[in-house]
Amino acid sequence: MKETTIKNILDQDSFSKNDLMRLLQTTGENRTLLFKKSAEIKEKYIGNKVWFRGLIEFSNVCGKDCLYCGIRKGIKNLKRYNLSDDEILAAAKFAYDNHYGSIALQSGELESTFVTDRIENILYKIKELSNGELGITLSVGEQKPEVYKRWFDAGAHRYLLRVESANVELYRKIHPNNKKHDFQRRLDCLKSLQDIGYQTGTGVMIGLPFQTIDDLAGDLIFMKEFNIDMCGMGPYIEHADTPLIIHSAQLLPLVERFDLTLKMIAIMRIMMKDINIVAATALQAIDPVGREKAVKIGANIIMPNITPGRYRDSYKLYDNKPCTDDSAEDCQSCLEARVNLADAEVVYGEWGDSKHYEKRRKGAKAQRRKGTKAQGRKG
Ligand code: SAH
């Protein structure tokens, strides 16, 4: 029997796990074919465009102890910071004044009524200062469904919560084994975000210790089956003060983690044609034009850092994080030039919502209408 070629696989409408593993291992001409296909799909479904989300890393205080993360609770020699409400609002105003369609608020993970009230209040204020025009993404970890609902009602409409790895065994190896780091809770949180009506984003780290190609193929299948609206995936980059550092010798070289990340993005774009895909900052820690490469082969979102400069050094999730000594203005002009290099155009003044989300909502509404009619006929 003739062996299926990569071209044959790329011509299919759906991929088996085995297909995905083969795509992830392509080299040479086959790799070029993969990237050509994903670029074509991006062009067709999204256009040659990039939307900015001004990223405000408003606090590095974290209650969790994820074994890979540079802001984990256990790191004692890190200066912890928490932007004042005024500083957060000033950063949001900067985004609004510079016609960014959206911002993303990200921080370490804390669950408390103080945090819930504070974020709710800030969301209302951001909506107020931008006449309701700034889109808002939140990325502040696992919370109770009622907390997610309050923030949704206050104006956040997208939420990013990476599953980090969809393989529960790998998840357990990269997190402490306790109730605070429970895989099932992560999944439950993602589900409640989707049920509340957020554009829901998730993603994984690529090149983690113990991770296999089989795991990465499983991650892609998980995201497709979960029917996500947005995806943020980046290479794992070790941080010297974290427990996972002892496994450094077993890691893939950085360039290979980078290459695998590009392939994950390309395949995700082919599998889920109309979702939003972020070109993660971590790509740029490995390759100076890493994010632009991701834009070329499928990503359509970039998150320029607009955190006030003096705090950036302390939000080091991994070693060698880029742009920590730039200002928000530097980030914008540098990124715009870079995006142009990737032959894409930055879209200002638009939210740049996930098209997939719009379709999914319309589908759900039609389904409900059908259900009501059927009920009517029955009754
Ligand atoms: N606490 C928030 C967001 C902060 S961390 C949340 O849980 O969503 C944001 C992301 O940074 C994490 O989801 C993780 O995927 C990534 N990250 C953390 N440490 C990293 C490392 N060492 N290398 C690469 N990415 C890392």
Q: Residue 308 has what DSSP assignment? A: -
187, 205, 254, best to mutate for ligand 1 pocket (most atoms within 8 Å of CB): 205
Question: pLDDT tens digits, residue range 10-64?
Answer: 999 999 999 999 999 999 999 999 999 999 999 999 999 999 999 999 999 999 9
In three-state secondary structure terms, 193 is: helix
Q: Which atom of ligand 1 is nearest to the CA of 204?
A: 15
**What's the average model confidence in pLDDT over 127-155?**
98
- Ligand 1 atom 18 nearest Cα: 69
The proportion of the chain whose per-residue pLDDT surpasses 90, expressed as a percent, equals: 85
Q: Which atom of ligand 1 is nearest to the CA of 161?
A: 8
User: What pTM value is reported for the model?
Assistant: 0.94
Backbone torsions φ then ψ of 288, nearest 5 degrees: -55, -25
Q: Enumerate the β-bridge partners of residue 231.
A: 202, 277
Smallest CA-to-CA distance from 138 within 349, 171, 128, 126 is with: 126
Please give the distance, rounded to the nearest whole angstrom, from the Cα atom of residue 372 to the centre of ligand 1: 43
Structural domains of the chain in order of their starting residue, each with its CATH number: 14-371 (3.20.20.70)
Q: How far is CA 352 from CA 44, 71, 105, 128, in A?
A: 16, 30, 17, 20
Cα gap 181→46, rounded to integer Å: 36
Please give the distance, rounded to the nearest whole angstrom, from the Cα atom of residue 317 to the centre of ligand 1: 6
- Ligand 1 atom 25 nearest Cα: 236
> What is the per-residue pLDDT for 47?
94
Q: Enumerate the β-bridge partners of residue 201.
A: 160, 230
Please give the distance, rounded to the nearest whole angstrom, from the Cα atom of residue 94 to the centre of ligand 1: 25
Residue 49, burial from CB neighbour count under 10 angstroms (0-12, 13-18, 19+): middle
Q: Which atom of ligand 1 is nearest to the CA of 64?
A: 1
Helix (H) / strand (E) containing 306:
none
Please give the distance, rounded to the nearest whole angstrom, from the Cα atom of residue 28 to the centre of ligand 1: 31
- Ligand 1 atom 19 nearest Cα: 69
Cα gap 32→27, rounded to integer Å: 8
Q: Which atom of ligand 1 is nearest to the CA of 235?
A: 24
67, 111, 138, 162, best to mutate for ligand 1 pocket (most atoms within 8 Å of CB): 162
Question: pLDDT tens digits, residue range 162-213?
Answer: 999 999 999 999 999 999 999 999 999 999 999 999 999 999 999 999 999 9
Please give the distance, rounded to the nearest whole angstrom, from the Cα atom of residue 69 to the centre of ligand 1: 6
Please give the distance, rounded to the nearest whole angstrom, from the Cα atom of residue 376 to the centre of ligand 1: 48
Asked whether the beta carbons of 375 and 367 are under 8 A apart, the reply is: no
In three-state secondary structure terms, 143 is: coil
Position 128 confidence tier, pLDDT thresholds 50, 70, 90? very high
CB environment 279-300: b (16+ within 10 A), e (fewer): bbbbbbbbbeebbbbbbbbbbb
Which residues does ligand 1 sit against, CB inside 6 Å? 68-69, 106, 108-109, 139, 141, 161-162, 164, 205, 234, 236-237, 239, 282, 317-318
Q: Which atom of ligand 1 is nearest to the CA of 70?
A: 19
Q: What residue has token string 């006030």?
A: 308
Q: Enumerate the β-bridge partners of residue 199.
A: 158
Question: pLDDT tens digits, residue range 308-334?
Answer: 888 888 999 999 888 777 777 777 777
Position 379 confidence tier, pLDDT thresholds 50, 70, 90? very low
Cα gap 307→31, rounded to integer Å: 36
Please give the distance, rounded to the nearest whole angstrom, from the Cα atom of residue 19 to the centre of ligand 1: 28
Smallest CA-to-CA distance from 186 within 136, 237, 250, 143 is with: 143
Question: pLDDT tens digits, residue range 265-279?
Answer: 999 999 999 999 999
What's the token pair of residue 99?
């016609």
First-to-last C-alpha distance (Å) of the chain: 57
Q: What residue has token string 């999204």?
A: 46
Q: How far is CA 260 from CA 22, 168, 187, 233, in A?
A: 12, 21, 24, 11
Q: Which atom of ligand 1 is nearest to the CA of 237?
A: 23
Question: Residues near 306 by Cβ (< 8 Å), separated by ≥ 6?
Answer: 54, 55, 56, 91, 94, 95, 103, 328, 331
Question: Residues near 337 by Cβ (< 8 Å), separated by ≥ 6?
Answer: none
